[in-house]
Structure formats: C-alpha cells, structure tokens
Amino acid sequence: MLDYRDLDIYCEDQTFPELVHLIEAKLSNGWFRDIGEEERLKPVITSKFLYCFSCDATDTRKAALLSLMQRARGNFYVPNVVPREIGHLSYQDYNAILEEFYYLFVQPAAKESGAELVLSSNEKSLEDWLSKDAILALKRFSKGANKSTGSAHPSDNERWISFLISAHSEKSPLTPTDLGRWLVEDEAWPEDVVNDLLVEYEFSRELLRAYEKRNS
C-alpha cells in the first residue's frame, strides 16, 4: 500500500539551526522560509525548534506547507505536509512535495553539515505490522469469507476471531485505518462491510486489552 513518507534528520541540537540556514539558502522553484507561519504556530507548539517552509503551486505541484521540528534530542523530523489551499494532499502529492524538499534542499545541505538523513519508504505491507502467523490468519479470513456478509457466517467468524486473537497476543500496531485500507485496496472488500469489520476489530482489541489488564 502507498504510505506517507517520513523524513528524520540526525544532528547535534546546537548545529541544527546551521543546517536550517543551509537549507534556506538553497531554496528555489517557488519554495520559501515561511516566517509568518512560524510566528503563528509558536504559541501552540511546545518544540524548542520550529522551522516552516512553503511552496507555491505549479502545474505539477500543489501549494503546501511543511515544518521541521524536534522529535528527540539530536533527532529532527517533518511532522506533516499540509495544503495551503482548500482540499487535501493525496499520498502521491504528499510524497512528491516531501521528496522535492528532501532531494533539492535537505540532502545537499546535510552533505555540507554532516547531518544524517533517513527517508522512509513510500509503501507499507502487512509485514510492517503483523507476524507471519497473524498475516496467515488474516489472509485465511479474507480469502475464505463472503465479502458481502463479513464475519457473519460461523466459519468466517471463526477465522476472523483467530486473526483478532493473533493481533492482540502479539500486540500488533496495526491500526483500523491501515487494516481497512488493506482490505479495500488489496483485497477488494466493499467499504460498508469493511467499516463493520473495523468496528469489531477496534472493539475487540480494546476488550482484550482491558480483560488482560484486569486479570494481570
């Protein structure tokens, strides 16, 4: 599945402002340091470091705003890329804007300053969230179930419960959103049926966590 890319920057706290100045000096193609947005956000952002960058719209790019903030000591990142106009950014739009910022400005600046960069993949798979056994349980349910009735049939329900128990027992980080996207995009499940399954998924994870905590 397509996923939003993450950009992490690793350097000493005291050298990060220098890196930002190097990035700013390289800005072109409608990109600019957005001081006004920094001033607007400072009262509501707790991070010691906050730098904002905007890009104007072009024939191939939407107008957008991204920021650089501190994740932890020596670790800085782009928390989000948001549109500057009404609408939203698709996965492709989001990643294209972040990649342009990274390849044209951040990467050359990092080479000069010695900062280390990590740009995550633009795709995720079930292996990022689930063990092989849990994936097998989920695929057994998805391939064998009646996609118009979800987990209603006893046999389908048994396979669904097997997956739910597996996801809980290994404390899987799989979110309802990502599970839903996989079912719809990769397995062609109807969205209305998937919505019901996601309610069951979220409720069962909460219920099993509460039961486990009460009996620990």
In this predicted model, what pLDDT tens digit does every residue of 5-51 receive, in sequence order?
999 999 999 999 999 999 999 999 999 999 999 999 988 888 889 99
Q: What is the pLDDT of residue 23?
A: 98
Q: What is the pLDDT of residue 46?
A: 83
Q: What is the pLDDT of residue 177?
A: 95
CA distance 52 to 34: 5
**Band of the pLDDT at 74, cuts 50, 70, 90?**
very high
Closest CA to 80 of 115, 71, 116: 71
Q: What is the pLDDT of residue 7?
A: 97
Tell whether the model's pLDDT for residue 200 goes beyond 90: yes
Phi, psi of 200 (to 5 degrees): -65, -45
Q: Which residue has the tokens 């039961």?
A: 211
Tell whether the model's pLDDT for residue 185 goes beyond 90: yes
**Band of the pLDDT at 216, cuts 50, 70, 90?**
confident
Q: What is the pLDDT of residue 203?
A: 97
Mean pLDDT to the nearest integer, 132-161:
97
SS3 state at 122: coil
Q: What is the pLDDT of residue 85?
A: 87
CA distance 13 to 49: 9
Segment 47-73, tens digit of pLDDT: 889 999 999 999 999 999 999 999 999
CA distance 193 to 6: 31
Mean pLDDT to the nearest integer, 131-150:
97
**Band of the pLDDT at 132, cuts 50, 70, 90?**
very high
- Please provide the average confidence, as pLDDT, over all residues in the chain: 95
Mean pLDDT to the nearest integer, 146-166:
97
Structure tokens belonging to residue 178: 């990502």
Q: What is the pLDDT of residue 51?
A: 96
Tell me the whole-structure pTM to 2 decimals.
0.81
CA distance 206 to 196: 16
